[in-house]
Amino acid sequence: MIRFENLTKTFNLRGQRKVVIDDLNFELPSGKSLALLGRNGAGKSTLLQMIAGTMRPDSGRIISDGTISWPVGFAGSFHRELTGAENVRFIARIYGVDTEELVAFVEEFAELGSHFRMPVRSYSSGMKSRLTFGASMGIHFDTYLVDEVTAVGDAAFRVKSRKIFLDRMQHSSAILVSHDMQQVNNFCDAAIVLEDGKLSFFEDVKEAIKIHERIVDSD
């Protein structure tokens, strides 16, 4: 369970106050793979980071009764001067999981070759995404926050990513941000649409996609 209570987040853009999350009161359903949809700039990444605890709201709070991953695909949580392997070891210590098991899992899964033991600052964006996705999938969370990372890599890697993601969803929930509506259809069994700082829940993913596309087309 993840619940938002009077959650508000604003940014100051060129001297003007922009409300991204507006006094939000909402409870996300458990046991669902949720698509988080909304126009560019609606606040999807901001909401994910607040759920993960990497960004603080202006006011209100987020309550959860389970473990939550960092936003997969958001490499800002990785130290750019450390190698991929060193970052994974650090994560293992933070989350209290077996260090060598996690390192071995990520090294095999992410398919980074010798780059796994090179500084993250030398990685391409795709390599960072594979590292973050592998590290996240290597730890069992109650809720995974995923940002289009399953689209990274060649066809074989995408198949592998989809397989492990669906395996984790047997026992966990997810919140997926994606601009690829086919990906949303493939991975999600419900959706939430963020518009004007508020969330709307849809049991029918196709209906949510129609609403989302109508919003985007109106820009």
Question: How confident is the model over 161-196, as pLDDT tens digits?
Answer: 888 888 988 889 899 998 889 888 888 889 999 999
Q: Are 153 and 126 in contact (CB under 8 A)?
A: yes
Q: Which of 73, 186, 46 is nearest to 136 (CA)?
A: 73
Mean pLDDT on 80-95? 95
- Quick one: tokens of 131? 């590292």
Nearest-angstrom CA–CA distance, 57 and 155: 38
Which structural domains are found in the chain, ordered by start?
1-67+144-153+173-219 (3.40.50.300)
- Quick one: tokens of 178? 């994606």
Q: Is the pLDDT of residue 118 over 90?
A: yes
The three-point CA angle 174-177-180 to 5° equals: 120
Can you give the pTM of this predicted structure?
Answer: 0.85
